[in-house]
A and B are shown apart, each in its own frame.
Chain A
Amino acid sequence: MSFNDLRLSVAPRLSGVGNVSRIVEAFGEENGLAEPQVYAINLALDELIANAVTHGFADVTRPRIDIGLRVDDDRLVLTLTDNGAPFDPTRHAEAADTESPLEERSADNLGLHLVKSVADRVSYEFSAGRNHLTMERDLAGVAAWRRSGTVVGRGAR
C-alpha cells in the first residue's frame, strides 16, 4: 500500500486520537502537505472520533472505527467508517453558537461546526450497518474556512 492512500483502524477510545495524529503528520510529510492541511485533517479526526466514542457506541459490543486518507489529484479525501448508532452530520443541523457574548456562550456543537468549516465537501451514507462519512478538502484555492458566510454546526448524535 502506498503512503498516499492510508487506511487505518482506530482504537475506539479518546486516547487513540494522539496516535492517529502522529500517523497523519507522517502522511502529511510524505505527501508534502502544508501544516494547515494536516491540522485540518487532525482537527476533523479529533472531533469525529470523539463524537463517535462519546455518543455512538453505547449499544455496540465491538466498536470499530476505520479511517481512510488519500491525496486525490488536488484534493484531500478523508473517510471515516464506524459501526456506531446511525448519525448523519450533514443533516441534524443544530447551529454552533459563534455570536453570543461570553457569559451566554455555549461550546455545544462546536466540534462539528469546525469539521464543516475545514471541509469543502462532506457527504454521508449509512450502509451495511455502518456510518460512512467522507470529507473532502481542496488543496488548491480557497478553503471553506477562509470563505465568509454562515457555516452551520451540527448537533452531536
Chain B
Amino acid sequence: MDIEVAEERTEETLILLPVGRLDSANARSFEALVMEHIEGGQQSLVIDFSRLNFISSSGMRVLLIAAKKLQASRGTLVLCAMKDHIHEVFRISGFDRIIPIKDSRKAALGVTG
C-alpha cells in the first residue's frame, strides 16, 4: 500500500507532508520515498505532520532510520506541526529527545534554513 505524500521545497530544504495514516501497511512505501531523497543527496529534510492523523511504531521506525542516515552525512531532519496525541507518542517513545520537533513549519525551517 502506498501513502500519499505531498512535497514542497525551499532553496535548501525538502518538505514532505504525509497525508492520513502512516502505519504498518504503508510504512515501507514511505521509507522507500524518504530514502530515495536522502540517497539522492537531499541533506535538509522537514517532515510536516499537519496532514497526518495517525502514526504507529512502523512509521516512527522510518523516521529513526532517516534521522540516523542524515546525522551520519551531517544533514538535518526536523519534524513539525504534530497533533497533540501524536506528539505524546513521540514523548513516551523518547523520540522527542533524538529528533527535533517544532510547532510550526516556519520554526522547522528556522532550523534547516
Residues facing A in B70-90 (CB within 8 A) are 71-72, 83-86, 88-89
Do most interface residues of chain B lie in helix, strand or loop, or is the interface mixed? helix
- Total residues of chain A contacting the partner, CB 8 A: 32
Give residues in B with beta carbon < 8 Å to A. Answer: 1, 21, 23-25, 54, 56-58, 60-61, 64, 67-68, 71-72, 83-86, 88-89, 92-94, 98-99
Do most interface residues of chain A lie in helix, strand or loop, or is the interface mixed? helix
* Total contacts A-B at CB 8 Å: 83
Quick one: closest B residue to A107, CB to CB? B61
Contact between chains at A151 and B25 (CB < 8 Å) = no
Give residues in A with beta carbon < 8 Å to B. Answer: 14-18, 21, 35-36, 39-40, 42-43, 46-47, 49-50, 96-99, 101-103, 105, 107, 110-111, 113-114, 117, 145, 151
B60 to chain A, nearest CB (A): 7
